[in-house]
Each structure stands twice: as C-alpha cells, then as structure tokens.
Structure 1
Amino acid sequence: MSDEKPSFWQDMAWRFEALVYDAFVALVRALPVDTASDVGGWLLRHIGPITPTRKLVRQNLDLAFPDKDDGWKARVIKAQWDNLGRTFAEFAIMDRIRIGNGRVIVENMERLKDIAAGNQPVVFISGHFANWEIMPSTIVDSGVECQMTYRAANNPYIDERIKAGRMRYGVRLFAPKGGDGAKELLIAMGKGDSVALMNDQKFNRGVETPFFGRLVDTAPGPTRLAMRFGTVLQPMTVVRLEKARFRVIVHDPIEVDNTGQKAQDIETTVAKVSAFIEQVVRDRPEEWFWVHKRWPNDAYKPGTPKAP
C-alpha cells in the first residue's frame, strides 16, 4: 500500500467500502455461528459462478487435474465456492470458532505443546485450506509464541478493522509482507518466537518447484528462515468437518536439507514443501483457494499442452 496521501475521492470510496464492510460484519455477528457460515456459503455458491473469476477457477482445475471429467470439475467448483463463502463469513466470527467451544479439534496437539514448552522456535507453514485463519488461532490457543504474517488490505480503514478482528481471537502480532516484514520475522525468531507463513501461492522470482507436473515459482522465505535458525518447517493444515467445525492437523516436521550446498538445499527443501501442498490439494481439492494464478502465465495460454 502506498504512503502517498489519497485523493479526496479515493478516501471517500475507502470510507464507503468500510461502511459496507461494517454492515456485513454486523449482520454476520448477529447470526448463530453455523447460520453465518451457511449464509456465506449460499452467497458465494450463487455469486461466484457469475464473476469473471470463475474462468480462472476452471483453468486452474484443468491445469491441476487434466484427466478429470467435466462432471467432477463442476462438483469441485461448486464445493470450493461454498467453502470460500463460508470462510469469508467466518472471518467475522473467528472468536467464536475455537478449541475451547469444541468447534476446532486438533490432531497431534502434543506437538504444539512441545513447541510451546521448548526453547527452539519453528517455522509453521501451511496453505489456504478450508478456513485458513483457524491455523493461527490454534497456534495462539496452544500457547506457542508466534509471529504471524499478513498482507495489508488496500483499503486502510478495512485493514484496521481486519487487524482488530484478529485481535478478538488473540492474534496480535503482525509482520507486513515484504522487506520490512522479513526483518521483523528475523527479529522474532532471534528472540525465540516461532513464525507462521503461507507457502502455497505464486512468488515471483521464487524457487522453481514441481507442482502438479509443472514448474511453479515458490517462496523460499520459510525454508531460508528455518535454515538460518537451525530449525524445522512445521506443516499444519485445516480440514472443514461440517459447517463451521474444523479439524487441524499438525503434521510431521519437514527437515531442511543440509548437505553443505546452500542453494541446492534450499531448492530441494522448497520442493518438499511444494510436494506436501500438492498432496493436500489432491486429497481435498474443494477446500483449496483456487481463485489465484498459481502457475506461470504461459500455462494459461490457449492450447497449452497437458502436464507430462
């Protein structure tokens, strides 16, 4: 987001958007948890298929699953709109979706407790699965001191509201993505805090890794942090059970390769992360965030051959 002072009309537009955002949040928070989730799912099941983004979702599925038939893809597309709509609605009520009230169960909580009790920070990694905000709230609830990252919203008024909403469920540490964010993460790990990052989206000038049979640019930052501090990558994923109920899986750690060849070790470790993300997407394709360009631009051109 630019530091330039916005024009009068830009500021007015942002304020109007913030009012709409406030109205939506107020509506969602007035509803029971499952009803709010249902409303979000219903809305995007009906709105998503008429947005321009629908074409990108289908293109992504064609790239990832070229051998699946149209019926299978149609079912996944409908289900991913439902999941995405539920997730957006649930963002406003995350303080009501917690381990303490039984809406979140954790598989391998012992691992989180060990991290909280130990002196060695880890680098948590995940992807945009189910309601991905469940991951940081679970880390907070487990007692792990952890620095979270986020991308600031373009609208500064909405950005402040998003941060306030996260504070309602205990997530108080934010490191803006980019150069300054990297510095803050280094400082956090240097004082013994863990960090948590998403590692499933396109990162220009990243490390090329295989993903569904094609090379994609993947962020090496999490791997570099783990390598620098001599720790592991700790994967976590979120599964939607039904409505606004979830299972969080704390997976086995991913060890950073250490052959002495730093560049090669980063590349092979990032490839392991990419393979992990791919397997989770294959297991539950309807719960991934398909509305972004994960593959290189050339892959989206007409006539692009199937992946080998």
Structure 2
Amino acid sequence: MPAEESQPIRLRHRLEAAALGGLLRLLRALPARTRYALAGRVGEWARHMDRRHARVARESLALRYGEETADQKVREVFRELGHLAGEMALLERLSPQELQSMVTAVEGREHLEATTADPRGVLILSVHGGNWELLAQNLPHYGLNPLHVVYRPLDNPLLEDRLRACRERHGVHAIDRRRSSREVLEALRRGETVAMLMDQHLRDSTRIWLPFLGEPVRVPTTFARFAKKSGCLVLPAFMVREGAERFRLVFLPTIEPDRFGDDEDGIRDLTAETVAAMEAGIALAPAQWFWVHRRWRSEPRALLPDQRQPPWSGSVRP
C-alpha cells in the first residue's frame, strides 16, 4: 500500500474491502434467481441514495427519450447496475466451464474466427455495457489469448488487488491506462489481443469532436492511433445480459485500419468508425449502458438535427 496514504484513508480502504467481502459472500450463498432479483432491487433502491449519478443519467435519458419516460428509464438503468454488481460476486469462484456456461448464445462468430485466423494482433473495442468484466474473462476462452485489458486502477488498492487476481484467473493481464502506450503496442506487435473500453470521457490531448448517440462530444483518437501503428484488426465485442446470469456474446464486423489513410483525416475517419461500432453495441441493450457517467460535458446540451436514438431495450426482470 502506498506509504503516502494517511491513516484515515487506510482505515477507509480496509472497511470498504471488508464490507465488500461480506456482501460478496452473502450473494454467493444465495440461489441464482434470488441473487439476481435481490441485486436488481438493491440497484433500483440505490438511485435514491446516489442522487448525483441518478441526475446525470436522467439528464441524458430525458434528452434522448423524452421527459415522460426518463424516471422509469433511470430506474431500469440502476436495476441493471444492480444485476452487474450481483454478477461480480461470482467471478472470483467460477471455473472456465462455469464462466462459459453463462454465455447462452454467440452472434457474429464469423467475425471472431476472422481475427483468430489472422496472424496480426487484435484490438477489442467495447463499452461499459452489459457485463464488461465477464466479457474480458470470457474472451481468452474463445481463442483471444493472451489478452490484455487497458483500464484505470481502482482508488482502493485492496479492492484493486482483488480485482486483478480475479482477472488473472482467466488469463487476463491488466495494463494501467496511465502508462499504457508502449505496453499496448508491444503486445499487438507480438500478435496478442488488447481490449479497450472507449465510451467514457478521457483526458486525452488528441481528442476530436464527433457525434456520439446524437450529441457532439470530444472523442480520443488513441484507439485509432494504436490500430494504425500496429496494423492490427479491430473487433467490436459486447456482452449483453439476457436473463438471470445468462448472456449473449456479440461480435460485430471487424474494422481494417489499412482502409484508412495515414494522415489526420484517416485517423478521424477511423475514430468515427469506432464510434459507430460502439453506438451499435449500446443499441443492443441501451438500458445496460453506463448512463450514470457524465460523458457529455458541453453546455447547453442538445442533440444534433435528425438524430434517432436506438429503441429502448435491455431491462431484464427475473
């Protein structure tokens, strides 16, 4: 644990870790459907306690789907976050066979096979939707191995160590986003797989304005630059919740970076292509996307003309 941490912070981290450990043990002891129903109910209740994130979600949902249904959609978003939390209790104990048994359908398998047959490395593009941790831990069992995941470490080092160990059980190597460039490129040039979630606000010096879910937003070009420098295929992949601990694994058509120019126009076009792929992934189950994140930061908020939102879906009940 870092020496510069104060005693109150260390105490808080220990209490958080102990509370989470107790909650995970309780959830693991419950039958699957009970665990699923309870986690969803707790998620719905949490929107009343976490008013700041509920407000963030409501603003974006009301803008896209109208004021009349915004409150109900916020409730469904928090329910799915509850389901996500309940599923996390299982990841420390699942065997590879149990992990794969949670995936009841695979769509776009031909796109997966195109990448595993290619000697180049693979860049997995995904979003904070469905269960992205379960997605990462499943991918090595589908031939995408070794797999590296670029992520932001948790603030609590005790929880961070626990999550890292959980990932490594299934062959996932974590790369700290703050020091990722060299490690990502080296892995891709060795023909390995790197997964990145690119749907959130990132402090990147090379961001460009693009529409995302109908609203202008600054998008980092980091992903496109990795793809161009390495020359690897891009494979969009998403894990969509279908029921109580049951998921659909979806692969969308690969993106070939060589189709785009090597100049800044090419980087912009490739970045726009990745944004479109992320939008398609979110559209599979909009209720399961991480609406509580403050992705759009421009004021006043407004959609671009003639922008249509994906039909609302993805709210799963027991």
TM class, shorter-length: 0.7 to 0.9
Partner SS, residue 35 of structure 1: helix
CA 1:172–1:257 in structure 2 vs 1: closer, same or farther (change >3 Å)? closer
Aligned: 1:92 with 2:89: yes
Match of 1:221 in 2: 222
Which runs of structure 1 show a deviation greater than 4 angstroms over 4 or more consecutive aligned residues?
96-99
CA 1:28–1:10 in structure 2 vs 1: closer, same or farther (change >3 Å)? same
Greater CA deviation, 33-42 or 127-136? 33-42
Match of 1:116 in 2: 116
1-structure distance, mates of 2:113, 2:49:
45
Match of 1:46 in 2: 45
CA 1:276–1:71 in structure 2 vs 1: closer, same or farther (change >3 Å)? same
2-structure distance, mates of 1:69, 1:218:
25
2-structure distance, mates of 1:113, 1:260:
26
Q: Is the 8 A contact 2:120 2:233 kept in 1?
A: no
Q: Is the 8 A contact 1:257 1:269 kept in 2?
A: no
1:81 partner letter = F
Q: Is the 8 A contact 2:102 2:247 kept in 1?
A: no
Partner SS, residue 42 of structure 1: helix
CA 1:166–1:34 in structure 2 vs 1: closer, same or farther (change >3 Å)? farther
Match of 1:198 in 2: 197
Please state how far the C-alpha of 1:281 moved relative to its aligned partner.
Answer: 3.1
CA 1:185–1:261 in structure 2 vs 1: closer, same or farther (change >3 Å)? closer
2-structure distance, mates of 1:98, 1:258:
39
2-structure distance, mates of 1:83, 1:269:
31
Please state how far the C-alpha of 1:113 moved relative to its aligned partner.
Answer: 4.1
Q: CA RMSD in A?
A: 2.3
2:77 partner letter = Q
Partner SS, residue 93 of structure 1: coil
Match of 1:70 in 2: 67
Partner SS, residue 299 of structure 2: helix
2-structure distance, mates of 1:234, 1:119:
14
Please state how far the C-alpha of 1:182 moved relative to its aligned partner.
Answer: 1.9
Match of 1:175 in 2: 175
2-structure distance, mates of 1:295, 1:133:
24
Greater CA deviation, 132-141 or 96-105? 96-105
Greater CA deviation, 34-43 or 95-104? 95-104
Partner SS, residue 45 of structure 2: helix
2:120 partner letter = Q
Number of residue equivalences: 298
In structure 1, stretches of 5+ residues that fail to align are none
Q: Is the 8 A contact 1:106 1:248 kept in 2?
A: yes
Q: Is the 8 A contact 2:175 2:183 kept in 1?
A: yes
Please state how far the C-alpha of 1:259 moved relative to its aligned partner.
Answer: 5.1
Q: Is the 8 A contact 1:127 1:200 kept in 2?
A: yes
Please state how far the C-alpha of 1:245 moved relative to its aligned partner.
Answer: 0.5
For residues 106-149 of structure 1, the C-alpha deviation after alignment (integer angstroms, 9 at most, x for no partner) is 22334434433442111110111111222212211112122112
1-structure distance, mates of 2:303, 2:114:
44
1-structure distance, mates of 2:197, 2:302:
29
Overall identity of the aligned pairs, in % = 26
Q: Is the 8 A contact 2:100 2:138 kept in 1?
A: no
Q: TM-score, normalised by structure 2?
A: 0.85
Please state how far the C-alpha of 1:39 moved relative to its aligned partner.
Answer: 1.9
Match of 1:10 in 2: 9
1-structure distance, mates of 2:56, 2:153:
24
Please state how far the C-alpha of 1:14 moved relative to its aligned partner.
Answer: 1.0
Please state how far the C-alpha of 1:267 moved relative to its aligned partner.
Answer: 0.9
1:87 partner letter = L
CA 1:33–1:110 in structure 2 vs 1: closer, same or farther (change >3 Å)? farther
Q: Is the 8 A contact 2:185 2:230 kept in 1?
A: no
Aligned: 1:20 with 2:5: no
Q: TM-score, normalised by structure 1?
A: 0.88
Q: Is the 8 A contact 2:240 2:284 kept in 1?
A: no
Match of 1:144 in 2: 144
1-structure distance, mates of 2:195, 2:260:
25
Q: Is the 8 A contact 2:125 2:196 kept in 1?
A: yes
2-structure distance, mates of 1:307, 1:177:
31
In structure 2, stretches of 5+ residues that fail to align are 306-318
1:141 partner letter = H
CA 1:219–1:34 in structure 2 vs 1: closer, same or farther (change >3 Å)? farther
Please state how far the C-alpha of 1:273 moved relative to its aligned partner.
Answer: 1.6
CA 1:48–1:259 in structure 2 vs 1: closer, same or farther (change >3 Å)? closer
2:76 partner letter = A
Please state how far the C-alpha of 1:261 moved relative to its aligned partner.
Answer: 4.6
Please state how far the C-alpha of 1:38 moved relative to its aligned partner.
Answer: 2.2
2-structure distance, mates of 1:29, 1:139:
23
Please state how far the C-alpha of 1:295 moved relative to its aligned partner.
Answer: 0.8
2-structure distance, mates of 1:260, 1:116:
25
Q: Is the 8 A contact 1:210 1:275 kept in 2?
A: no
